[in-house]
Amino acid sequence: MKSRVGVNAGFIQSGQSLDQLGWRLGAGVSLTWNIFEGGLTRAQVSEAEANVIAAVAQLDLQRQQIRSDVDGARLAVRAAKESLSATQEALTNARERLRLAEERYAVGVGSAIELGDAQIALAQAAAQAVQADDKLSTARAQLLRALGRQ
């Protein structure tokens, strides 16, 4: 419940006619006390409790989001490493294929088409290796960001 105390004072000039004016002092004290506020205090307490619950829920949501971001970034790094390993192996195989095609062409049993195909396959494998390396770097950067280490 809220209660208020008020004090007021004032001087006024008053009288029966303008030539008979006198000074008068007036003072007063007032006390206001609300007996019933319609459950205001209870409502304010309930609102404060609801705000605490909302803040805790928001904190929990942030924790879950961070955990999800970190897990996703770790999985992306793992997948990028596997992809890079596979593209490195494909690059090694493309180099060997080109070496064999060059030797076959040099001794006259291979065709220029086979040699060209091997060169294209090597170029494609090398491009895929660069892309896989880029994806790994990006995934690592995302993991660092998710961990708050940018």
Does residue 101 contact residue 114 with C-beta atoms inside 8 Å? yes
pLDDT digits (tens, 9 = 90+) for 4-57: 888 888 888 787 777 778 888 888 888 887 777 777 888 899 999 999 999 999
Q: What is the CATH number of the domain that holds 122?
A: 1.20.1600.10
- 37 backbone dihedrals φ, ψ, rounded to 5°: -105, 10
Q: Based on the structure, what is the number of domains in the chain? A: 1
pLDDT category at 1 given cuts 50, 70, 90 is: low
pTM (two decimals): 0.61
- 97 backbone dihedrals φ, ψ, rounded to 5°: -60, -40
pLDDT digits (tens, 9 = 90+) for 71-125: 999 999 999 999 999 999 999 999 999 999 999 999 999 999 999 999 999 999 9
Which residue range forms the structural domain that includes residue 141?
Answer: 3-16+24-146
